Amino acid sequence: SAILGRVQGVKGFHDILDYPNARTIDGLLLFRFQGNLVFFNVDYFRECLFEAIAASKTPIEWVVLDASPINVLDATAVQKLDEIRNELAPRGIVLVTTQARHNLRRFFEPEWVRKREELWGSSIYPTLKSAIHVFHQYKNAKGGLPPPD
């Protein structure tokens, strides 16, 4: 797994362990899990995520899951993501997903996918930048964040 940040002069978002000078955004955790999410590793995913939240220097308000490396997702993982979302909500932490591959839908019945999309609704973003933009809007509405750079 990786916590992502921006590096001046380098395009994209990068693992802060690879780039110690990478900048993160207070209150926002950009989290990438480097693998599929299935029954045998979803608890490990949860453990990594909660360790990243606990290690943050500032309180986390949003977790953005970069799902781009995920090629396989099973029903157990979907259930666990719901549980994680429900665990984080009372702590004031919102879980959103970005860059999920459209082919992940093939593992599930189309009607079930439609209902999941309705349930997750506004918490699915096409890119990390779009999720960050919405986070900035959220923070600006609360009066707590300067405009994005």
Helices (H), 34-109: 42-55, 75-88
Q: Whole-angstrom Cα distance, residue 123 to residue 95?
A: 7
pLDDT of residue 148: 46
- The token pair that represents 61 in the structure block: 């308000």
Which pLDDT tens digit goes with each residue over 89-116? 999 999 998 988 766 666 666 676 667 6
DSSP lists the bridge partners of residue 73 as 37
**pLDDT over threshold 50, residue 12:** yes
Which pLDDT tens digit goes with each residue over 44-92? 999 999 999 999 999 999 999 999 998 888 889 888 988 999 999 999 9
78, 107 Cβ separation under 8 angstroms: no
Q: For the ranges 5-9, 101-105, 121-125, which has the lowest average pLDDT?
A: 101-105
pLDDT > 90 fraction of the chain, expressed in percent and rounded: 64
pTM of the model: 0.86
Where are the strands (E) in the chain, listed by range?
2-7, 10-15, 28-32, 62-66, 94-98, 124-125
Q: What is the largest CA-CA distance in the chain?
A: 45
User: What average pLDDT is seen over the chain?
Assistant: 88
**pLDDT over threshold 70, residue 144:** no
pLDDT of residue 13: 96
pLDDT of residue 117: 67
pLDDT of residue 119: 67
